[in-house]
Structure 1
Amino acid sequence: MHVHMINLPGRRGSLHRLISAILLGFGLLMTTGLATQGFMSQELIDHPIWKDLLETATNNALENTLQPVPQKAGRIQVWKLSGDTPAPGMPPLLASLAPGFYNEGDMDRRASSFTDPDYAVLVTSLGKERLVAAIDISDLEQEQNLIALTGGIFLIMNLILIIAVIAWLYVRLHRPVQAIALGMKQLDPERLSQRLPVHYEQEELKDIACGINAHLERVEQFMARERALLDQASHEFRTPIAVISGALDVLARQTLPACAAPPIQRMRATVDNLTEIMVALLYLSREPVASSPDDPVELDRLLPGLIKDHQHLLDGKPVQFSMHIHQTLSLRVPEAMLRIAIGNLLRNAAENTYDGTIAVRLKEGVLSVTDSGEGFDTAQAARHYLSLLRNSTRAGTGKGLGLFLVRRICERFQWRLTLESMPTLGTRAGLDFRAQAVIGE
């Protein structure tokens, strides 16, 4: 049976993706923080305070009338040069500097080796002489480099940890959840005693699988009770139906007024219909088994009798059945199943047609019943039809038994039921048998 499924909205979000995004965001925030820290530490090395200290040292040296002598043990050293020849104890790189201030970055660009000490230098012009003041910040630079290296190692370790956590989540959480979802999709409604595996290392996933299995157990018990009830009810109803059928046989042998014939005929048709329903309920209440196939039913020979059985529904109306059989078609199904499914289409067409013709056509494996009734809006009718199918299974409604049986029959034999209609133009109902094995045409 063909049923249009409702398209559910797409997934609002994946927990695995959400956690991964949070961890990646945390890693990005950490990277930004460490980069900011490194930038600020570099700014500290290039701080203007070094220029102020060197200017103070230069002024102190100028106030001293004696030749400034470098303080070997101090951080700040001052040399007085008259040419490009380095003073004793003076790094050669400083002797060639022009007047001005040179921070650590400027000196790094002039250094010939990475192993050279790091200086902040202030060169003051004294006419033909220069006063060179330098402060050694090598230990501060080394400490800053060590902090940057430690921060980089810490960042790399955290990024590796984040990637490892994301991979762990995928392996330990995402894939098992996908396995549970795939297992649920692979459950066959026609096969009972199916269960999901519960051997998961994670207790949460194990609880989910056990909960699903418990629900499947309850559904299976409910279906067993439903089948038992249908089976018992069908057997119980057989006795009164047999009594009524016997009474009708007795009445048929009596001499009755002519006006009593139509009611007795309708009673006989109703009893036959109830008998078929009981047979269908008994058949559908049992699980399908791969036993010997049913005897073939020749649908092209069955149709005339079915149309004749429903002829009384057109009494008093200017409506007639029109039969068009373009093929011979045999199906290995119980005859009662075909009678109920096709009879439901004929009955609906007869009850909703008040003038014109009901065309019954068998062609290319499809049985169609087309009436000349008022028709209906297809979308609205589809919603109403699905609502009837849902309500037909609710306890206590007592409505939609025919639709319920047609639905179950179509599901059992993989037939496809279609409804096509236009307002004021009539309705076409079709049963497509091509999905099931067809024996000859």
Structure 2
Amino acid sequence: MINLPGRRGSLHRLISAILLGFGLLMTTGLTTQAFMSQELVDHPIWKELLETATANALADTPQPKPQKGDRIQIWKLSNDTRTDTAATGMPPFLASLAPGFYSEGDLDRRSSGFSDPDYAVLVTSLGKERLIAAIDISDLEREQNLIALIGAVFLLLNLILIIAVIAWLYVRLHRPVQALARGMKQLDPERPAQRLPVQYAQEELKDIACGINAHLERVEHFIGRERALLDQASHEFRTPIAVISGALDVLARQKLPPCAKPPLQRMRATVENLTEIMVALLYLSREPLTSHQDDPLEVDRLLPALVKDHEHLLDGKPVQFSVQVHQSLTLYVPEAMLRIAVGNLLRNAAENTYDGTIAVRLKEGVLSVTDSGEGFDTEQASRHYLSLLRNPIRAGSGKGLGLFLVRRICERFQWTLTLESMPTLGTRAGLDFRLQPSSASEKT
């Protein structure tokens, strides 16, 4: 089966179309056969037979007397229409025929009805007389009518059978398949251990349902193993991170030369960033609880601190952050989630801006980060972004994980991430929080 682009094929419609096409083909065939059998009744062979019989009659006696049961009968009549046809045994309507050949259909039309018996007639002019030769084709006509009747009954029965098969397919195949599709749509990822019913009368549908249930079970086992591994790894990483953090605290209390403080601050920021990533991975690895609501988080108060945490990325460059908060905004999300999402936008802007200002703006539920960097080709960046999402952690590269986390965070909290850029004109990245339950008020 070949589907046109953008079109979906239905097995039920396909089978119905095939059956209807078969019925149409059968109707065409039987109709053609009926016309061909009618053509046999009006076949030119009757004219040839009558011409031969007329020639033989003219060569024999002047007035041949047909025998009872003869297929071909010949009468010689005067052109006087008052001739007594009863005495000759000739059907009365034949006496008025002009010279020429008349098929069974011609006689039916002339007699304003169906003649019985049915004849093919040849009238030959003999001066003041006419020779009328007629062949009785009643048996052939009755056989043709019987064949046509049988064909019509056969066609009607087949059409009834086709309609019954289509209805049976709808009841026995289409409805159960629809029920199976509805069952698959009702599967909720937030409710594990769900399975499709397998009580189907059709063995094929039962096999499909069992196969889907087996696949669901394998997927759940796989997800369970991944979550267990992620939880275990996160807990294992917490210990060395805590050790490093403690060591940094000890170093911070020591008298260090001024040149050692910037590396120490970068190490502190890296440890804090790694801690947030571990928290985010643990949070995102679990299914969201609809009955649980996170603590309120004031975005307008957190935003300046986030910007300050990323100012070290601008060291040595004539670039500065500009923060504009036009409203207070409260979200019900973990702080680590917002820090990772916003921090990724700030870090990308800082790394790609070499001169000018990075404007950070919060207004009408949308956080935007606009830089004056070189910009980029959006189509090329989109392809690169999708490739990173498909393979978020590549060997020797740490850029994919940030994009992966931002994407997952936006999906979890129904945020919208937008990127607008033109080469040499800078980039504007935005986080739209308006689908996330929140409370906001304008700042004066």
Normalising by structure 1, report the TM-score. 0.91
Aligned-partner SS, 1:333: coil
1:75 aligns with 2:71: yes
Matches for 1:29-48 after TM superposition, within 5 Å: 29-48=25-44
- Residue-by-residue CA offset, 1:64-113 (whole Å, 9 max, x unaligned): 33532232221222222223231422111111112222111111112344
Matches for 1:123-162 after TM superposition, within 5 Å: 123-162=123-162
Q: Distance in 2 between matches of 1:91 and 1:358?
A: 113
- Residue-by-residue CA offset, 1:157-177 (whole Å, 9 max, x unaligned): 223333333343344334444
Partner of residue 358, structure 1: 358
Amino acid at match of 2:15: I
Aligned-partner SS, 1:329: strand
- Does the 8 Å CA contact 1:371/1:426 hold for their aligned counterparts? yes
- Does the 8 Å CA contact 2:327/2:440 hold for their aligned counterparts? no
Matches for 1:304-323 after TM superposition, within 5 Å: 304-323=304-323
Aligned-partner SS, 2:328: coil
Q: Distance in 2 between matches of 1:245 and 1:186?
A: 47
Partner of residue 18, structure 2: 22
Partner of residue 119, structure 1: 119
Amino acid at match of 2:242: A
Q: Distance in 1 between matches of 2:194 and 2:378?
A: 38
- Does the 8 Å CA contact 2:394/2:400 hold for their aligned counterparts? no
Partner of residue 392, structure 1: 392
Deviates more, 1:94-103 or 1:295-304: 94-103
Matches for 1:180-191 after TM superposition, within 5 Å: 180-191=180-191
Aligned-partner SS, 1:120: strand
CA gap of 1:31–1:346, structure 2 versus 1, over 3 A, is same
- Equivalent in 62, 76, 89 of residue 58 of structure 2: 62
1:247 aligns with 2:247: yes
| Deviation for aligned residue 1:381 | 1.0
Amino acid at match of 2:438: V
CA gap of 1:235–1:204, structure 2 versus 1, over 3 A, is same
- Does the 8 Å CA contact 1:27/1:162 hold for their aligned counterparts? yes
- Does the 8 Å CA contact 1:80/1:87 hold for their aligned counterparts? no
| Deviation for aligned residue 1:368 | 0.8
Amino acid at match of 1:24: L
| Deviation for aligned residue 1:127 | 2.1
What is the aligned residue count?
A: 434
Q: Distance in 1 between matches of 2:416 and 2:169?
A: 44
| Deviation for aligned residue 1:9 | 4.5
- Equivalent in 45, 49, 60 of residue 49 of structure 1: 45
Partner of residue 438, structure 2: 438
Q: Which has the higher contact order (CA 8 A, sep 6+)?
A: 1
- Does the 8 Å CA contact 1:228/1:285 hold for their aligned counterparts? no
- Residue-by-residue CA offset, 1:333-360 (whole Å, 9 max, x unaligned): 1111111111111111111111111111
Percentage identity across paired residues of the two chains: 84
CA gap of 1:66–1:371, structure 2 versus 1, over 3 A, is closer
- Residue-by-residue CA offset, 1:266-296 (whole Å, 9 max, x unaligned): 1111111111112112222222113442211
Partner of residue 218, structure 2: 218
Q: Distance in 1 between matches of 2:163 and 2:405?
A: 56
Cα RMSD over matched residues?
Answer: 2.3
Matches for 1:288-327 after TM superposition, within 5 Å: 288-327=288-327
| Deviation for aligned residue 1:42 | 1.7
Deviates more, 1:183-192 or 1:407-416: 183-192
Q: Distance in 2 between matches of 1:263 and 1:316?
A: 15
Aligned-partner SS, 2:320: strand
Deviates more, 1:397-406 or 1:211-220: 397-406
Partner of residue 342, structure 2: 342
Q: Distance in 2 between matches of 1:224 and 1:163?
A: 50
- Does the 8 Å CA contact 1:76/1:135 hold for their aligned counterparts? yes
CA gap of 1:250–1:397, structure 2 versus 1, over 3 A, is closer
Amino acid at match of 1:144: Q
- Residue-by-residue CA offset, 1:220-265 (whole Å, 9 max, x unaligned): 2221112111111111111111111111111111111111111111
| Deviation for aligned residue 1:304 | 1.1
Q: Distance in 1 between matches of 2:265 and 2:153?
A: 95
| Deviation for aligned residue 1:122 | 1.6
Q: Distance in 1 between matches of 2:381 and 2:311?
A: 26
Partner of residue 108, structure 2: 108
Where in structure 1 are there 5+ consecutive unaligned residues?
1-7
- Does the 8 Å CA contact 2:329/2:365 hold for their aligned counterparts? yes
| Deviation for aligned residue 1:366 | 0.6
Amino acid at match of 1:313: L
CA gap of 1:237–1:409, structure 2 versus 1, over 3 A, is same
CA gap of 1:373–1:390, structure 2 versus 1, over 3 A, is same
